[in-house]
């Protein structure tokens, strides 16, 4: 998916989070959105995902030669972020089934393979509320990367991960990101060191 950002800005009350942003995100590219905590990375990602409207400017989406309306862009993207909520009353199996009522599995995967990819074979019947914060973050990531969408958005993807979890994250990206447009918001180099493009939110204050 190609995304053209034109004079984009977002503010809360009178404070501009970012402003006058012009940028082109090309299909299949790997982009790191950088900045310290509180700089506006997550806000930028929410605008790109269509969940927040810009205060000024435009975001234009194109999938191949077809323009995508902002109201429909959610069909073309997957998002994983620490602030996203899971339905904690669901078991793991129910959570996966619910998610893939709205998204299509990436070719070569199904529910059982998602559970194996997580390494949670023993927890298929356990309710999400009994998962640790690291287990929940793993689940959010796997649901995103195993959804067949051309745009993959990740915000602080290794939050609550130990070294083993970070290694698992890298293997996940290596396996499931090729051919997709990848945007990662982070201030941790190990989360984005494979990205070839950098966007600093501080450049648009």
- pLDDT tens-digit series, residues 94-122: 999 999 999 999 999 999 999 999 999 99
Neighbours of 85 (CB within 10 A): 8
Q: What is the pLDDT of residue 64?
A: 84
Q: Which of 86, 82, 46 is nearest to 156 (CA)?
A: 82
Nearest-angstrom CA–CA distance, 60 and 58: 6
Nearest-angstrom CA–CA distance, 35 and 197: 14
Share of the chain above pLDDT 70, in %: 100
At the top level of CATH, which class does the domain 2-204 belong to? Answer: alpha beta
- Digit-coded pLDDT (tens) for 115-168: 999 999 999 999 999 999 999 999 999 999 999 999 999 999 999 899 999 999
Neighbours of 93 (CB within 10 A): 17
Q: What is the pTM (predicted TM-score) of this model?
A: 0.94
Ordered by start, the domain boundaries in the chain are 2-204
Beta strands in 46-174 (DSSP E): 56-63, 66-68, 77-80, 151-155
- Is residue 205 scored above 90 in pLDDT? no
């Amino acid at each position: 998916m190609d995304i053209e950002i034109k004079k984009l800005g977002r503010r809360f009350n009178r404070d501009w989070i970012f402003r006058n942003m012009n940028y082109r995100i090309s299909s299949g590219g790997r982009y790191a959105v950088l900045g310290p905590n509180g700089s506006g990375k997550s806000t930028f990602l929410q605008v790109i995902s269509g969940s927040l409207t810009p205060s000024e400017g435009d975001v234009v989406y194109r999938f191949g030669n077809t323009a995508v309306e902002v109201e429909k862009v959610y069909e073309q993207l997957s998002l994983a972020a620490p602030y996203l909520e899971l339905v904690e009353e669901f078991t793991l199996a129910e959570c996966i089934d619910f998610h893939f009522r709205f998204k299509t599995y990436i070719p070569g995967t199904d529910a059982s393979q998602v559970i194996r990819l997580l390494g949670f074979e023993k927890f298929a019947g356990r309710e999400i509320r009994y998962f640790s914060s690291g287990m929940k973050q793993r689940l959010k990531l796997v649901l995103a990367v195993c959804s067949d969408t051309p745009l993959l958005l990740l915000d602080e993807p290794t939050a609550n991960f130990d070294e083993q979890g970070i290694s698992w994250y890298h293997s996940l990206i290596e396996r499931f990101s090729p051919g997709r447009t990848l945007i990662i918001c982070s201030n941790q180099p190990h989360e984005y060191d494979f990205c070839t493009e950098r966007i600093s939110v501080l450049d648009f204050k």
